[in-house]
């Protein structure tokens, strides 16, 4: 870069000398010299097109590097660790336990009305719109009977079973591999959760179609076959 600058200065001097030798007007000569000196010097001077393109690409890449604010946004978009998620789930479940439950009819209630989003728990609950209150009441009734009568578990929580709020289990609705529920459409799958001696477990319920009875086909910490 220093050699390029010297070259430009030398060229300016040579032009000035040539103008002087021609015996032109001194003021015009001075102006011409000033115009030569005013030519902006850049790091691209003396570089070929290939070199310039490489430099421009490097500068563009550096420009795209995240600022502190962008870095924070990217971190927020990153998948939540299991440890962080468990903390959020614990806080939500505690609030749910103290919230007023929602009646589904036939003596069946669903956990208290608490916003999952307020606790940073995000998942697509749109599937619930495909179930009417009667279908949901039947699903919960089947789940309660399974936990108490089949498993012989009587949780210390206010309700025996709750609407599942764990995104890792909720993923069954969009997963290609639905594990124990493979072969069933999302509208024929229902997931619940219950607390077994301080550990939250999940029930996977399925049915043959709308109007058919619900059946619990799996319980555990995942919707995959944990014995497989």
pLDDT tens-place string over residues 76-129: 434 568 999 999 999 999 999 988 877 766 666 666 678 899 999 999 989 999
Check residue 130 and give its pLDDT: 94
Specify if 170 maps to a domain. yes
The answer to whether 206 and 215 have CB atoms below 8 angstroms apart is yes
Tokens of 185: 């459409």
Residues 10 and 112 in one domain: no
β partners of residue 189: 206
Secondary structure of residue 203 in the 3-state scheme: strand
Tokens of 139: 């699903």
Domain count, the chain: 2
Euclidean distance between CA atoms 4 and 154, whole angstroms: 85
Q: How many CB atoms lie within 10 A of CB 143?
A: 25
Specify if 228 maps to a domain. no
- Taking 90 as the threshold, does the pLDDT of residue 186 lie above it? yes
Among 40, 65, 90, residue at a domain's last position: 65
Euclidean distance between CA atoms 215 and 118, whole angstroms: 32
Domain of 54? 2-65
Distance of CA 195 to the CA centre of its chain: 28
Specify if 25 maps to a domain. yes
Start-to-end Cα distance in the chain:
67
Closest by Cα among 202, 195, 133 to 164: 202
pTM for this prediction: 0.62
- Taking 70 as the threshold, does the pLDDT of residue 195 lie above it? yes
Mean pLDDT for 150-172 is 96
């Amino acid at each position: 870069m220093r050699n390029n600058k010297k070259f430009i200065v030398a060229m300016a001097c040579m032009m000035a000398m040539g103008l002087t030798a021609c015996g032109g007007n001194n003021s015009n000569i001075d102006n011409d010299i000033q115009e030569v000196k005013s030519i902006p010097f850049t790091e691209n001077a003396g570089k070929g097109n290939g070199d310039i393109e490489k430099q421009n690409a490097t500068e563009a890449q550096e420009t795209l590097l995240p600022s502190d604010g962008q870095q924070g946004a990217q971190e927020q978009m990153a998948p939540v660790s299991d440890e962080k998620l468990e903390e959020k789930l614990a806080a939500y479940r505690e609030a749910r336990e103290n919230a007023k439950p929602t009646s589904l009819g036939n003596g069946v209630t669903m956990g208290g009305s608490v916003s999952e989003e307020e606790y940073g728990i995000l998942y697509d609950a749109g599937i619930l719109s495909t179930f009417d209150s009667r279908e949901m009441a039947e699903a919960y009734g089947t789940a309660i009977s399974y936990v108490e009568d089949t498993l012989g578990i009587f949780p210390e929580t206010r309700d025996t079973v709750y609407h599942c709020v764990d995104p890792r289990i909720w993923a069954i609705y969009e997963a290609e591999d639905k594990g124990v529920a493979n072969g069933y459409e999302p509208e024929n799958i229902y997931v619940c959760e219950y607390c077994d001696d301080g550990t939250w477990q999940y029930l996977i319920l399925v049915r043959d179609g709308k109007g058919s009875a619900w059946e619990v086909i799996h319980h555990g910490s995942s919707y995959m076959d944990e014995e497989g």
